[in-house]
Amino acid sequence: MIKLEPGSVIGILGGGQLGRMLAMAAAQLGYHTHIYCPDEKNPAEQVTNRLSRSSYTDEVALIRFAKVVDVVTYEFENIPVETVELLNQHVPTFPSAQVLQVSQDRLHEKNFLNKIGVETAPYAAVMTEGEAVEALKIITYPAVLKTRRFGYDGKGQAIVKSPEELSAAWAMLNSSDIIIEGFIPFDMEISVLAARGQDGEIKCFDPAENIHKNHILDLSIAPARIAPHLRAQAVGIACHIVAELEYVGVLAVEFFVSSSDPVFRVNEIAPRVHNSGHWSIEACPTSQFEQHIRAICGLPLGDTSLYGRAEMKNLIGDDILDVALYLKDPDANFHHYGKTHARPGRKMGHVTRILPTVGTNKKSI
Amino acid sequence: MIKLEPGSVIGILGGGQLGRMLAMAAAQLGYHTHIYCPDEKNPAEQVTNRLSRSSYTDEVALIRFAKVVDVVTYEFENIPVETVELLNQHVPTFPSAQVLQVSQDRLHEKNFLNKIGVETAPYAAVMTEGEAVEALKIITYPAVLKTRRFGYDGKGQAIVKSPEELSAAWAMLNSSDIIIEGFIPFDMEISVLAARGQDGEIKCFDPAENIHKNHILDLSIAPARIAPHLRAQAVGIACHIVAELEYVGVLAVEFFVSSSDPVFRVNEIAPRVHNSGHWSIEACPTSQFEQHIRAICGLPLGDTSLYGRAEMKNLIGDDILDVALYLKDPDANFHHYGKTHARPGRKMGHVTRILPTVGTNKKSI
């Protein structure tokens, strides 16, 4: 176990808003951060004075980076496993390359989850349209075709409702690494942010209820509006997953919740801090970002209890132009990610509100 | 009035923990920051990718700095007035040079306060020991001798209890710019953080009660444990001061409170965010740092209501070594300023706790 003192340098692969908020949480605890990101003018580099602007496959730059940081983490899962493996030869890197390998490929991920007894949608890996036809005889329609790797925010996905739609979907995805998933009817999507320390300590945040618009997260509400015993069940599964992965850091688990299905099915996991946990910045003593930093630095995990009911709204594209509105709202905690161009579908910021709720809490006043 | 959009660059003179926390608040709102500080390895430069390491009297560097930022502010009052005047010729600079001139000199400050009807200790400016002897006949013993400029944390001050102590005190201060202040017996020191926007909007934080150890702030408790009508009186005086100064930004007002004296006397004002307001980061929807950024950027001021009773403890020198203790305490919000050497008397970090309190608040749960 490594235990990093304040003043140590945390290397972060990726320069998006997650890296940015990780860097700010690290700074509060007295750590320096070093952003490694190939992109010009990325949001994270604005909040640190250490930057490597290099490709994730540039071995020379990676080793140079590894030599000037004390630990490495990453803010997104689509970096090459080889990158994390290389870095880990020189400096402790969390989460591990093995975890990345599992979560980067929808087939590996589902195989792992089912192996440890966590339910998912029925699925099959296929490489040709012919294999897809065969697989769909068992999975049945409707189903979802997904590329096994590099999908996000609904990209690399196609719903097929009948055999007639298969050819078009297959052509659209244009890949020979496809997973077919049975369509799970659900009433709600929830997520649990689970953290595990290097010493095996596990703490989860309350499950959040997630509402999407155009396949992009629009709203997260914590706690999710489901019965307490169901919330406990989701938290239990998330704990089980991080324990089995021997995970270090914060991991997100997305679930489908259906009133007609007594089984909790995991949609996907993400080996990183997650958009559906941004409310934790204001709503909890320890945010998901601080928790991740604590975990990778060998610090004890922090308290994750909720001060109140929290609602996080994403500001997508032009939503960010309403900044004046949010700044005038006394209940709105406004976050701007420092991105210049408000392209459609781009996550530009978010707003969190803490709302009164029934019940009591030790922090209530 | 200037109104700065996210993406604009805020120049900050000074690289200490106040500049650091200002930069982090600015980042949350989507602003870039540029730290101007002569010191190597300053705490603020760790949280921004724009830095000028130059002297406050280097006109070429100051003008270069002014040209790449959209507004300038400062984190401490001991920068030359000429520096702020020069910058303001090139870029809007808040608070103004006039405000700095008033607050940089204890004599100007007291003259100003008394002129606008705000009570202080009785005082007299003296240049020689002979003048001091004469002045003390009116002010009477005990009294406090202070250098008019550049004092902080009890430095540049000496208490004289009797005429016999005067010569030693005079020699110790070794200055011909001395102000003698009558000693004010007080039960409590409180402070109010007041903010004023460019449009004249004023909002104050609840008064905090301040407890010192070795002349350095040890503990701030908000709200101050005095009657509500006294808190309102202090807030009223702070509002009056920022209005009369036509101030832009956050200003701290320190008061002596005495049960034997019906008059609120101002000890001093500081034209900046202040150590006694750090609890606002967790205890209020808008922190003093965000409020200052809002004011200088022409944004509406934010909500300053308290979520709960707040207690902020400074971590001075070796106190910072107890970090493990604070990280394990679920109620402690730990802040480390990223300083390397824990010299005695050096402010290394702080810890804020939000505690249950009686009464209700719209944010309570």
Sign of CA dihedral A167, A168, A174, A179: negative
CB contact under 8 A, B28 and A335: yes
Chain B CB within 8 Å of residue A3 CB: no
- What is the value of ipTM here, to two decimals? 0.91
Question: pTM of the full predicted structure?
Answer: 0.94
- The answer to whether residue B24 neighbours chain A at the CB level (below 8 Å) is yes
B300, B328, B349: residue with CB nearest A300: B328
pLDDT at B360 exceeding the cut of 60: no
Residue among A47, A324, A365 whose CB faces B364 most closely:
A365
Q: Which chain A residues are closer than 8 Å to B289 by Cβ?
A: none
Q: Which residue blocks in A245-311 are alpha helix, DSSP H?
A: 280-283, 288-296
Q: Do A6 and B328 touch (CB under 8 A)?
A: no
What residues of chain A lie within 8 A of the CB of B19, using their CB? Answer: none
Closest Cα to residue B341, out of B326, B325, B320, B323?
B320
- The C-alpha atoms of residue B236 and residue B216 are separated, in whole angstroms, by 26
> Is any Cβ of chain B less than 8 angstroms from the Cβ of A38?
no
Of B320, B330, B337, the CB nearest to A303: B330
For residue A360, pLDDT beyond 60: no
- The strand pairing partners of A189, in sequence order, are A210, A256
Q: A208 versus B153: which is more confidently predicted?
A: A208
CA torsion, ordered A230, A235, A237, A239, to nearest 10 deg: -160
pLDDT bracket for residue A357 (50, 70, 90)? low
Instruction: Lowest mean pLDDT of A39-43, A243-247, A265-269, A354-358, name the range.
Output: A354-358
Q: Flag if A327 and B361 touch (Cβ within 8 Å).
A: no
User: Do residues A217 and A205 make contact, with C-beta atoms less than 8 angstroms apart?
Assistant: no
* Among B32, B300, B334, beta carbon nearest to A29: B334
Cβ pair B337:A30 closer than 8 A: yes
Query: Are A29 and B305 in contact (CB < 8 Å)?
Result: no
Q: Is A46–B49 a contact, with Cβ atoms under 8 angstroms apart?
A: yes
Look over chain A and give the mean of its residue pLDDT values, rounded to a whole number.
94
Option in A32, A285, A359 nearest B330 (CB): A285
**Lookup result for tokens 């505690």:** B355
- Is the predicted pLDDT of residue A99 greater than 70, yes or no? yes
Pick the CATH number of B9-93 from 3.30.365.10, 3.40.50.20, 1.20.1440.130, 3.90.950.10: 3.40.50.20
Nearest to A308 among B29, B51, B365 (CB): B365
Q: CB atoms < 10 A from the CB of B211, how many? A: 12
**Nearest by CB to A340, which of B7, B28, B324?**
B7
Q: For residue B230, give both structure tokens.
A: 């006294």
Q: Would an 8 Å CB–CB cutoff place A353 in contact with chain B?
A: no
Partner-chain contact A365 B328, CB within 8 Å: no
* Set of chain A residues whose Cβ sits within 8 Å of the Cβ of B42: none
**Cis? peptide before B223, omega within 30° of 0:** yes
**Is there a contact between A32 and B46 if contact means CB atoms under 8 Å apart?**
yes
Long-range contacts of the stretch B144-147 (C-beta < 8 A, 24+) = B144/B180, B144/B181, B144/B183, B145/B169, B145/B170, B145/B173, B145/B178, B145/B179, B145/B180, B146/B106, B146/B173, B146/B178, B146/B179, B146/B180, B146/B181, B147/B106, B147/B173, B147/B175, B147/B177, B147/B178, B147/B179
Q: Is 60 exceeded by the pLDDT of residue A359?
A: no
Number of H helices, E strands in chain A: 11, 17
Interface of B with A in 194-253 (CB under 8 A): none
Q: How far is A7 from chain B (nearest CA, A)?
A: 6
Listed in order, strand segments (DSSP E) in A197-300 are 202-204, 208-213, 216-222, 249-258, 261-270
Q: What is the pLDDT of residue B355?
A: 83
- Residue A364 contacts B, CB cutoff 8 Å: yes
B111 — contact with chain A (CB < 8 Å)? no
Asked, as a colleague might, if the bond just before A344 is cis with ω within 30 of 0, I would say: no
* Residues paired with A157 in a beta bridge: A146
Q: Which pLDDT value is given to residue A156?
A: 86
Q: Report how far residue B292's alpha carbon sits from residue B94's, in angstroms, rounded to the nearest whole number.
A: 10
Cβ–Cβ of A30/B349 closer than 8 Å?
Answer: yes
B32 interfaces chain A, CB cutoff of 8 Å: yes
In chain A, the residue whose alpha carbon lies closest to the alpha carbon of B286 is A333
pLDDT tens per residue across span A17-66: 999 999 999 999 999 999 999 999 999 999 999 999 999 999 999 999 99
Which CATH superfamily includes the segment(s) B188-355? ATP-grasp fold, B domain (3.30.470.20)
CA dist A59 and A87 (Å) reads 9
Does A336 sit within 8 Å of B6, measured CB to CB?
A: yes
Whole-angstrom distance between the N-terminal and C-terminal Cα of chain B? 39
Q: What are the start-end ranges of the H helices in A263-322?
A: 280-283, 288-296
pLDDT for A203-232, tens place per residue? 999 999 999 999 899 999 999 999 999 999
Q: Above 80 in pLDDT, residue A161?
A: yes
pLDDT at A361: 41
Domain boundaries, chain A: 9-93, 122-182, 188-355
- The residue of chain A nearest to residue B24, with distances taken between CA atoms, is A24
Q: Say whether pLDDT at B361 is over 50.
A: no
Contact B253, B241 (CB under 8 A): yes
**Are residues B267 and B254 in contact, defined by beta-carbon separation less than 8 angstroms?**
yes
User: Is the pLDDT at A365 greater than 80, yes or no?
Assistant: no
Name the superfamily (CATH) of residues A122-182. ATP-grasp fold, A domain (3.30.1490.20)
Q: Is the pLDDT of residue A253 over 50?
A: yes
pLDDT in tens, A320-330: 999 999 999 99
Q: Does A341 contact B at CB distance below 8 Å?
A: no
B362 vs A contacts (CB less than 8 Å): 356
CB contact under 8 A, A336 and B30: yes
How does residue B357 score in pLDDT terms, banded at 50, 70 and 90?
A: low
Do residues A72 and A95 make contact, with C-beta atoms less than 8 angstroms apart? Answer: no
| Residues ≥6 apart with Cβ < 8 Å to A16 | A42, A43, A44, A75, A76, A337
Residues in chain B within 8 Å Cβ distance of A338: 6-7, 27, 30-32
Q: pLDDT band at residue A122, thresholds of 50, 70 and 90?
A: very high
Model confidence at A155: pLDDT above 90: no
* pLDDT 10s digits, A70-87: 999 999 999 999 999 999
